[in-house]
A and B are shown apart, each in its own frame.
Chain A
């Protein structure tokens, strides 16, 4: 049976034009710019100094605080500087800049293609190793994985959900991983099940990826019967954490709550692969699969890309910025971030680079709200975007909270669907953070 979430959602055309491009290794850049703020939480603290020689996979920065993650170098070579640089949005963070010399890996990393099936570690050892290897959630938020897998007081996870829905248009990196490393991600799933001490796992994949569903089902049935492959309806935002839990278990994550409140932990396909590699291959998270796509480029690609590669380098590798492209997006067209600087570098959670032409991304002229209620009907959280937009404009913070603006998941369905081209989410997002701040400041 095909499952889906219960309210709202939209059906954008999926444009998975890069789906058939196999994963290739991206040519190594001359210089890597590795940010200390690649994850949610406190920036990591550098443990190398200018002039040090580092090997691929070597720890260069240590987690600093409870919510933070280790960072490892993606290239071998000399640290040439540690400086404040801007990220894709212009935010400044500390970066370790490494001039590459060859491709010299840490000896303990298993570079072979062998699939290692036996798990030698206990739950605690797994969580410790995941932390050590700097794994973060690759679904977008980059939340440190070891924290998500650690037990929360008074809350018990009963099952694990792997998010393979990849519901954003254009993105195909998770799809390629599911096609090319299906058993590795199932082992990664098994490892996380052990860490969480749960007996069952669900693996949700949207119906527009029948090949991935077929392969995963076959392997799971043969060797991992406790992992259930669930076919999901093609509907955005199917891969939203709350929507996915609703679709698969029928449970609703409370407002301001966590998935674990429903007894579920959700991890992404990319994270499952990173976990497999960290535990079975001793490989820290310093590279990941990135889709490079857009109808304005001739060749659609899926690359295995090292962290810290600048957008400049990536775009020149595909033959430069296409003439008619105006916007470069890191991520998907619904929730991705527009890149503002080509000299900014990729991070652990970079999953796609999408090039859009003016025609594709141009915002139409804003008209008056005709009260068609399309935003209300498309909101997967059951909110009233037209109202939240108006309240935001009026700065009515109390009413915004009453109408649950803090529940907004920023999926963009409201703006996407508005026939009057009102940028609903722009205003709602701003007041959402304002209201969240107020809620969190309460005793």
Chain B
């Protein structure tokens, strides 16, 4: 008699794979990668390459020789971590710093927890924050490296918009004076004429990536929208109270790492909540903490810390925030 294959339903699969999802994230990052290469030239290429190669290498070595488990680098998640790490660094960062960041990101933040799916904190962000506290000078040196095709970055404004504002306010200047002195405009923020980390240069490129991720249903809009919305609302309240001491909400969103963080870092599957209500709470938390750090902390930008803090809350959020059930049980006495 003929041999039949027997297994429980469903008998077909949507054919979506972890690798495919990671590939989509890489595609979504492409515009930002290209823009950064255009503006920072070899420096950007160097950071990106070292980031990707060392992340993959570290994961491979750990899986193959230390843990002696199945090597899963082909799922491309280490590639994404490498790309994100590189995009979160200042363009002038030396190559070895990326390598150290990769070892921390993959080695400590990901593999010690058990690899893909097990880590509590976003690996790329752990790497970045490790570098920020270990090498504060290098990590806040926003000078723009010499490049063959440097487009139109103002040589004068190497610093990030947020640090310029923070320093200006500390010197007792008003918002208008700071804006005028530095020639800030929304078009410059959108099209990348203001300094920042490799991936933050162009808001437009990041937004294109978000559109791709949303259309391909790789991410849900809940996390990025709730972060951006919260930052907009929260900074808006401050701005209404005193527009000379606090930047306007649009400036707050377009500068710094809000877009890069909310689109690519906070949406990391492994370290974000599972239910939609949970995602919204997580996003609001990130937004609030970011603004608090920006306005009341010593760092000009706080989204990395905000995401890591909220990462730590994710298990708790998952425990108490459930999806909307089809039928909500009514507790009767």
Contact = CB atoms under 8 A, between A and B. Distances in A.
Interface of A: 7, 10, 12, 169, 242, 246, 252-255, 257, 321, 326-329, 331, 333-342, 354, 356, 358, 360-361, 363-364, 367-374, 376-377, 379-384, 386-387, 403-404, 407, 410, 412, 415-421, 423, 425-426, 429
B116 interface: yes
10 nearest A-B residue pairs (beta carbon):
A412-B10, A382-B325, A368-B117, A338-B6, A372-B269, A381-B326, A327-B5, A333-B12, A255-B327, A326-B5
Contact of B21 (A246, A257, A334, A419): A419
A342 B117 contact: no
Q: Which DSSP category, helix, strand, loop or mixed, fits chain B's interface? A: loop
A158 B117 CA distance: 49
A255 B274 CA distance: 22
B14 A384 contact: no
A371 to B, nearest CB: 5
Given A382-B324, A384-B274, A384-B275, A404 B329 contact: yes
B13 A415 contact: yes
A417 B10 CA distance: 11
8 contacts: A242-B326, A338-B5, A338-B9, A354-B11, A407-B327, A415-B10, A418-B13, A419-B20
Given A334-B11, A364-B13, A370-B18, 20 more contacts: A10-B14, A254-B327, A326-B4, A327-B7, A329-B11, A335-B9, A337-B9, A340-B6, A358-B5, A361-B12, A363-B13, A367-B18, A369-B117, A370-B77, A373-B275, A384-B322, A407-B327, A412-B10, A416-B12, A419-B20
B72 interface: yes
A337 B275 CA distance: 31
B296 to A, nearest CB: 32
Interface-centre pick from B4, B274, B326 (highest chain A CB count, 10 A): B326
Interface string B97-140: 00000000000000000011110000000000000000000000
B151 interface: no
Interface in B1-45: 1-2, 4-14, 16-18, 20-21
Interface residues of B, number: 41
B216 interface: no
B270 interface: yes
A371 B13 CA distance: 18
Contacts of B329: 255, 404
Given A255-B327, A371-B269, A356 B11 contact: yes
Given A255-B327, A383-B323, A376 B275 contact: yes
Given A342-B2, A377-B220, A420 B11 contact: no
B75 interface: yes
Contacts of B7: 327, 338, 363
A368 B269 CA distance: 12
A403 B256 CA distance: 40
B242 to A, nearest CB: 40
Contacts of A416: 10, 12-14
A384 B2 CA distance: 39
Contacts of B4: 326-328, 338-342
B10 A371 contact: no
Contacts of B324: 7, 382
Interface string B262-287: 00000001101111100000000000
A361 B117 CA distance: 26
Contacts of B327: 252-255, 257, 381, 407
A187 B34 CA distance: 65
Contact of A321 (B2, B9, B115): B2
Contacts of B16: 374, 417, 419
A361 B5 contact: yes
Contacts of A326: 4-5
A384 B269 CA distance: 15
Contacts of A412: 9-10
B28 to A, nearest CB: 15
Nearest to A377: B220
Contacts of B10: 333-335, 412, 415-416, 425
Contacts of A335: 9-10
B11 A333 contact: yes
B8 A425 contact: yes
Contacts of B1: 342
Contacts of A361: 5, 11-12
A176 B170 CA distance: 77
Contacts of B6: 327, 338-340
Contact of B14 (A336, A386, A417): A417
B186 to A, nearest CB: 34
Given A336-B11, A370-B269, A371-B274, A252 B326 contact: yes
A334 B220 contact: no
A356 B13 CA distance: 12
B63 to A, nearest CB: 12
A272 to B, nearest CB: 25
Most A-side CB within 10 Å, residue of B1, B10, B20, B77:
B10
Contact of B323 (A169, A364, A367, A384): A384
A360 B12 contact: yes
A426 B8 contact: yes
Contacts of A242: 326
Contact of A379 (B18, B75, B323): B323
Interface string B51-65: 000000000000000
Contacts of B72: 367
A368 B114 CA distance: 10
A403 to B, nearest CB: 8
Given A342-B1, A368-B117, A407-B325, A373 B11 contact: no
B8 A382 contact: no
Nearest to B16: A419
Contacts of B17: 364, 419-421
Contacts of B272: 371
Contact of A419 (B18, B270, B273): B18
A333 B327 CA distance: 27
B315 to A, nearest CB: 11
A387 B10 CA distance: 19
Contacts of A374: 16
Contacts of A369: 117
Contacts of B18: 367, 370, 419-420
Nearest to B19: A419
Nearest to A367: B18
Contacts of A418: 13
A350 B220 CA distance: 39
B269 A373 contact: yes
Nearest to B330: A254
Contact of A334 (B9, B116, B325): B9
